[in-house]
Each structure stands twice: as C-alpha cells, then as structure tokens.
Copies of this chain bind each other. A is one copy, B any other.
Amino acid sequence: MLASSAVLRRQQLVIRCLGVGGYSDHNINTNQKPMQGVRFSSGAASFSLEADAENVLRAITPTLDPNRHKGQAGNIAVIGGCREYTGAPYFAAISALKIGADLSHVFCTRDAASVIKSYSPELIVHPILEESYSVRDEDKSFILENVLGEVDKWMERFDCLVIGPGLGRDPFLLDCVSKIIKHARQSNVPIVIDGDGLFLITNWLDLVSGYHLAVLTPNVNEYKRLVQKVLSCEVNDEDAREQLLSLAKRIGGVTILRKGKADLISDGETVESVSIYGSPRRCGGQGDILSGRQVFVSDSRNPTMLGCIAGSTLMRKAASLAFENKKRSTLTTDIIECLGRR
C-alpha cells in the first residue's frame, strides 16, 4: 500500500517534469522552448549523436513551486563512507542539494559519520554501517538486520539511492549493501551505482540485472572491468557505442553512463552522448558529484536516460565554469560551488 503510493508519487513527478509547459527553471533560465530534439526510439536501437543536452535539462528540471513542501523536489540517500573514505559520499550528497534536491541523507559507518557531518550541516548522516573489523562473527546477522531496519524506515521516502561513493570493499559491509539494493528494488526506488558499488555489482550482476531503474556510472577502469566480466572481451573504442549498447542490453536494460572525454549513455535500446562543456582537470571526486546529481532519475525508462543526460550536462557545465576561474588549481569543491551557476 505504502509502496504503491510512493510509486505513484514518483510517477507524478516524472509526468510533471515531462509535461509540455510543466517545466520552468529558476536556475539555468536559458530561453525556454518546448521539449524538442529529445530523441528516443522505443524499439530498435537508435544511434543519435550528441544528445540535445540543454533541452533535456530544461525539460526535466522540476518546477520550483511555492505551494510545494520540503522533500517534494527530491529526497536522496547516499550509501557510502567508511573508515578510509569520507570525501566521496559528501561530494555525492551535497551535489544533490546543490542542484535542487530538498533533502540529502548519507548512510555510512560510525567512523565516517562524524567526519562527513563536519563537512556540512546540510546533510543528514546516519552512522549505521559496520565494517568487519568492528563486528564479531556471531553478531553479524543481528547487525545486518539492524542496518536493514534503519534503511527501510526511510526507504519509501527516497526518490533515489546512490550506492557506492566511498563505500570501500569490506566483505561484511558489501553484504549489507547487497541487501539494501534488494530492498530498494522491491520498493521500486531508483538506484545509481558508482565507485565501489560497481565493484560489488560487477561481481554480483544479479543485484541489478533487469532492473530498469538502475543506473551504472563507471569511469574508465570500472567500465573495463564491467566489459571484461559481462561481455568477456576488452573495451573496444572503435565501436564504443555498439559495445555500450550490448553491455546495457546484456545487463537486462539497466542504464549505463560511461564517463569519459565524452560521456556515453545507453539503456540497451538507444545510445546518447554528451560532450558539451567539460574541463581537462581530472581531480578525484568529480565522479561522485555526477552520481549525486542523478536526482532526476525517476520511475520510467526514458526518464532514466534523461536523468543521465541532465546529470552529465550539469557536471560538465560546472566543471567548465570552475576551470575558467581556477584553471589547474581547480578542486572538486570548486566545481560543486559552480553547480547551478550559469
């Protein structure tokens, strides 16, 4: 009952976003046009070249409506942050807020929680995950239940889970996260898989296989491992679009955003690329911004592609603005500062 009302709410968000005239952007505010040039074939593979990224962005950005209340413009959760990594989940979570989400949660280990809280008072940080070193074998099943209980309390309220930034590779922690993915799937909550989350799903493809609300955002190395595992071959840059299409299809129609000089996006039916803007800086953390910006991902196939195009465009625009100003000394925090600027 609760689940179906949440699905309805998310679908209404999509319909509102996509309805002609139902979009306005107080943020980017370029000349508004009806949504043209957003090309999707529903059947056979189509290979459009560059996505009409700015138009997509304009079309799917939700209206800022004074009648709406907290949470309606987006409530996301990042699952990540361990003893070793705290920057990545922060970048993902704060980026979601900076592009317009109302609420941004982080579920991380106790070690990571106080550090992530210290980066920003804007985030809601839940110190609930545990790594093997802090757990006795006989306590594991009890702790696993506890972790799932804590996440489930919130699950129906989330519009999207971002799984993986700064997650680390501790076996017990990854075991808990596998269960969280299963619960998200049962509740039809869209998931974005990045960083160590990709390590997890590359080894356990069933976790996401066939789930149309899953988005994978691999960088060059993560993509290489995914291609090797799923297609049993090496990355072929000559035929990059065809290979990406096959990969997405083989994982049952998940959407894959392959990060690179141009970002390539496919859901197994179409391939789009986004290459406008960008920066030559490759400082660590930019991928985390992108994952956090998948706040537009919603319950419907095409909107997942659109969300990727929008996320990629916003990231590249902000990186380009930051680079204009800071050049080689650009850091990821400088890019976040430019999110939402024109």
Contacts and interface: CB of A to CB of B under 8 A. Distances in A.
Copies of this chain present in the complex amount to: 2
**Most B CB within 10 A of own CB, among A25, A69, A283:** A283
Interface in A63-112: 64-73, 83-87, 90-91, 97-103, 111
Determine chain A's interface SS by DSSP, over half rule.
loop
Interface range for A: 35 or more
Contacts of A111: 114
A281 interface: yes
Contacts of A327: 26-27, 340
A123 interface: yes
A204 interface: no
A250 interface: no
B331 A339 contact: no
A164 interface: no
Interface string A136-178: 0000000000000000000000000000000000000000000
Given A87-B122, A333-B122, A73 B26 contact: no
A114 B119 CA distance: 11
Nearest to A87: B121
Contacts of A341: 329
A284 interface: yes
A105 B115 CA distance: 16
Nearest to A127: B83
Given A102-B281, A103-B283, 10 more contacts: A26-B323, A26-B327, A27-B328, A61-B328, A64-B328, A86-B117, A87-B117, A98-B331, A101-B283, A122-B331
Interface of A: 25-27, 61, 64-73, 83-87, 90-91, 97-103, 111, 114-115, 117-127, 219-220, 260-261, 278, 280-287, 323, 326-329, 331-333, 339-341
